[in-house]
Amino acid sequence: MPTSSLPGTPALPRRLLALLYDTLLVIPLIGVTVALATVVSMALSGNSAAGDYYQLHPQWVQLIAFGCVVTFCTAFWHKSGQTLGMQAWRVKLVDSSGAPPTVGRCVLRCAGALLSAACLGLGYAWCLVDRRGRYWHDYFSGTELLLLPKAAKRAAQAKPVSESG
């Protein structure tokens, strides 16, 4: 879809609220996944005596957390272009054709987001100077965020009325 026919760009507060919403969903997912990984690691190491303290190496926890975030985002972005937080705030991720991004683009965007954050957040702040409101990781992955009109949200939530006979 050409850029000129795309809906508007979401403002920074809307993006941050969608991110906060998704963060509140991902944190418990990470906690459960780390707990399961700890149990599996204890069982495999034979260190399962009651009362023993067992902890995963912090780098494993970081890797699991990043894997949870990438899986969460990729699953939602590839399916519909929207995570649950993005749905609530009418923000949609699309590729250059206006379609939901491929799995590869989603993973690339997640890796780029990590780089954007690692550069003291400059990759995120870039949306304030980019005329299309793109982050660095949008450039890396060939994606961009769109603000959906309110009518699109209502139409997506509307259910067809069935006739009873």
104 occurs within a structural domain = yes
* Percent of the chain topping pLDDT 90: 74
160 occurs within a structural domain = no
Q: Domain range spanning residue 74? A: 6-46+56-149
Q: Which residues fall within 8 angstroms of residue 65, CB to CB, at 6 or more apart?
A: 30, 34
161 occurs within a structural domain = no
Total domains present in the chain: 1
pLDDT confidence of 3, banded at 50, 70, 90?
very low
119 occurs within a structural domain = yes
C-alpha span between 154 and 131 (Å, rounded):
28
128 occurs within a structural domain = yes
Instruction: Name the pTM for this structure.
Output: 0.82
Mean pLDDT over 77-81 rounds to 98
pLDDT at residue 49, rounded to an integer:
60
C-alpha span between 11 and 3 (Å, rounded):
17
pLDDT at residue 52, rounded to an integer:
63
164 occurs within a structural domain = no
pLDDT at residue 58, rounded to an integer:
93
126 occurs within a structural domain = yes
pLDDT at residue 142, rounded to an integer:
97
Instruction: Give the 3-state secondary structure percentages of the chain, helix then strand then coil, rounded to 5.
Output: 60, 5, 30
132 occurs within a structural domain = yes
> How confident is the prediction for the chain on average, in pLDDT?
88
pLDDT in tens, 92-142: 999 999 999 999 999 999 999 999 999 999 999 999 999 999 999 999 999
147 beta partners: 91
Lowest mean pLDDT of 56-60, 98-102, 113-117, 153-157, name the range. 153-157
